[in-house]
């Protein structure tokens, strides 16, 4: 396709999505739930076509020499398709976020102002190889009254197209507005650039994927972008920590699922407890096969650990590796975290409530835990029902991003003819 064709094609989708968004904003909660259930059923009914399409992606991936982890992310089977459909039914059952009154003001002049939650409009989702995102993202956007334009990676293009087709063909007879869920049917790199410039039709872009993708979108986008960057999460073991509890939390946060963004990367240990605590921690982490990279003071206590270099403090390992540093004080821990953190999630382990309060009011991160594993930084755990990701941004949505965070608001103001300057009109 030429640049002009890509541009024309995506702008036509944008225009359709904008019309669909106006129609979607008027659907009732029940209408949206009915559409979602029809989409889930259609996905189940289309399982065979979806798996055939997926087989093409897998074959192409193998031919291209994709590694095992990537192929795993790409692969669907009947259970997986059924799980995706089950996820849609769960979203259908969630409370509708749209239309809720968020505030009300009775003005002295008799004007009544209501602040109402409304959809954002059209959301662009740019994602990489997981085909389930096609459904997950479209469905969360739809529940919150938004139209979506999805742009998936080339590795999953056949699977994505089959899933999008099933969602559309199931949803439309149930009342899904045409253009409400659209997948860009080609994967030219140019399409990301066109989406990023299309602020007329896209109110928000959410890039889901690696740093390179996010960086490209951030540098090109004319509209808001909500980033889900890495999680360089920290644990601080205070001098007043319950040391067994600290071992348990660090073990859980580091090793229970190391590949996710709310897993731990760095532990900071107060100097007064380091000599007692570090051997206990090392013993546990050794059993889990975790490599320890420590600063000088850690190495004095744990001579078998590797030496950490400057780069370690800002690395998201997503692996069985942890960087550990001994700090002189709570304040030093706070300064280290404010300097190196990706502002995702941090935990203090202490029995000292005053220390916990200082930690929680001094660090500029989305989630600040006290005596709880960072693995709880998650929309499901927070009771959001579902999440589209965990925002490391500070504007609009911070931390776990659920249905409410996929909405905007609007003021509706009612009166009986109030004007700003009635004197001016007395003797016109």
Site for a copy of itself in 256-275 (CB under 8 A): 256-257
Q: Which stretch binds a copy of itself (CB under 8 A): 2-10, 17-25, 57-65, 70-78?
A: 17-25
* 121 forms part of the interface with a copy of itself (CB under 8 A): yes
* 395 forms part of the interface with a copy of itself (CB under 8 A): yes
- Residue numbers 347-386 binding a copy of itself by CB under 8 A: 356, 360-362, 364-373, 375-377, 381-383
CA-to-CA separations, 176 to 33, 169, 182, 338, in angstroms, rounded: 11, 9, 12, 45
- Euclidean distance between the first and final Cα of the chain, in Å? 63
Question: Considering only residues 204, 308, 322, 386, which one is a binding residue for a copy of itself as defined by CB under 8 A?
Answer: 204
- Residue numbers 279-308 binding a copy of itself by CB under 8 A: 284, 287-288
Distance CA 185, CA 191 (A): 10
CB of 306 to a copy of itself, least distance (A): 22
* 189 forms part of the interface with a copy of itself (CB under 8 A): no
Question: Considering only residues 29, 55, 174, 218, which one is a binding residue for a copy of itself as defined by CB under 8 A?
Answer: 218
> CB under 8 Å to 79, separation ≥6 — which residues?
none
Residue identified by tokens 């009612």 is: 414
Q: Count of residues binding a copy of itself (CB under 8 A)?
A: 76
Q: Are strands 264-270 and 181-183 parallel, antiparallel or unpaired?
A: unpaired
Here the tokens at position 70 are 């990537």
* 219 forms part of the interface with a copy of itself (CB under 8 A): yes
**Residue (of 184, 195, 219, 320) closest to 263 by Cα position:** 320
CB of 220 to a copy of itself, least distance (A): 10
How much is the CA Rg of the chain, to the nearest whole Å? 25
Q: For a copy of itself, give the closer residue by CB, 164 or 372.
A: 372
* 120 forms part of the interface with a copy of itself (CB under 8 A): yes
Q: For a copy of itself, give the closer residue by CB, 5 or 357.
A: 357
Q: For a copy of itself, give the closer residue by CB, 6 or 334.
A: 334
**Residue (of 35, 132, 129, 147) closest to 91 by Cα position:** 35
CB of 15 to a copy of itself, least distance (A): 11
Question: Considering only residues 398, 401, 402, 403, which one is a binding residue for a copy of itself as defined by CB under 8 A?
Answer: 398
Distance CA 74, CA 76 (A): 7
Q: For a copy of itself, give the closer residue by CB, 152 or 179.
A: 179
Distance CA 237, CA 240 (A): 8
Q: Which stretch binds a copy of itself (CB under 8 A): 47-55, 62-70, 297-305, 403-411?
A: 403-411
Q: Looking at 228-352, list the stretches that DSSP marks H as alpha helix, in order from N- to C-terminal side.
A: 243-255, 271-287, 296-301, 330-340
Question: Considering only residues 9, 165, 338, 385, which one is a binding residue for a copy of itself as defined by CB under 8 A?
Answer: 338
**Residue (of 130, 96, 126) closest to 226 by Cα position:** 126
Q: For a copy of itself, give the closer residue by CB, 64 or 351.
A: 351
DSSP-derived letter for residue 95 is P
Question: Considering only residues 53, 133, 249, 333, which one is a binding residue for a copy of itself as defined by CB under 8 A?
Answer: 249
């Amino acid at each position: 396709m030429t640049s002009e064709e890509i541009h024309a094609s995506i702008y036509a989708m944008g225009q359709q999505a904008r019309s669909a968004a106006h129609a979607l904003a008027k659907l009732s909660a029940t209408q949206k739930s009915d559409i979602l259930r029809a989409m889930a059923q259609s996905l189940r009914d289309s399982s065979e076509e979806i798996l055939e399409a997926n087989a093409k992606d897998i074959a192409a991936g193998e031919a291209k020499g994709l590694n095992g982890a990537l192929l795993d992310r790409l692969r669907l089977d009947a259970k997986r398709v059924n799980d995706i459909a089950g996820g849609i039914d769960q979203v259908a059952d969630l409370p509708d976020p749209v239309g809720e009154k968020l505030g009300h003001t009775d003005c002295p002049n008799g004007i009544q102002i209501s602040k109402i939650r409304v959809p954002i409009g059209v959301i662009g989702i740019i994602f990489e190889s997981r085909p389930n995102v096609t459904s997950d993202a479209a469905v969360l956007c739809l529940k919150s009254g938004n139209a979506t334009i999805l742009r998936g990676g080339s590795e999953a293009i056949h699977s994505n197209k089959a899933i999008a087709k099933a969602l559309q063909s199931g949803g439309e007879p149930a009342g899904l507005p045409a253009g409400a869920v659209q997948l860009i049917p080609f994967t030219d790199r140019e399409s990301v650039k066109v989406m990023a410039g299309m602020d007329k039709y896209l109110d928000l872009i959410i890039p889901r994927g690696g740093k390179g993708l996010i960086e490209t979108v951030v540098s090109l986008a004319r509209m808001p972008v909500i980033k889900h960057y890495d999680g360089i999460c920290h644990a601080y073991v205070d001098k007043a920590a319950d040391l067994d509890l600290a071992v348990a939390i660090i073990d859980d946060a580091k090793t229970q699922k190391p590949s996710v963004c709310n897993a731990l990367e760095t532990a900071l240990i107060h100097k007064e407890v380091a000599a007692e605590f570090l051997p206990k921690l090392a013993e546990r982490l050794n059993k889990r096969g975790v490599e320890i990279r420590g600063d000088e003071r850690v190495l004095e206590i744990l001579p078998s650990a590797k030496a950490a270099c400057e780069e370690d403090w800002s690395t998201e390992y997503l692996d069985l590796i942890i960087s550990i540093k001994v700090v002189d004080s709570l304040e030093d821990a706070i300064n280290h975290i404010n300097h190196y953190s990706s502002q995702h999630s941090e935990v203090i382990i202490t029995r000292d409530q005053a220390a916990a309060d200082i930690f929680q009011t001094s660090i500029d991160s989305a989630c600040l835990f006290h005596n709880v594993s960072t693995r709880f930084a998650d929309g499901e755990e927070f009771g959001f029902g579902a999440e589209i990701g965990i925002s490391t941004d500070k504007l609009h949505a911070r931390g776990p991003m659920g249905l409410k965070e996929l909405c905007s608001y609007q003021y509706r103001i009612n009166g009986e003819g109030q004007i700003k300057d009635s004197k001016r009109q007395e003797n016109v």
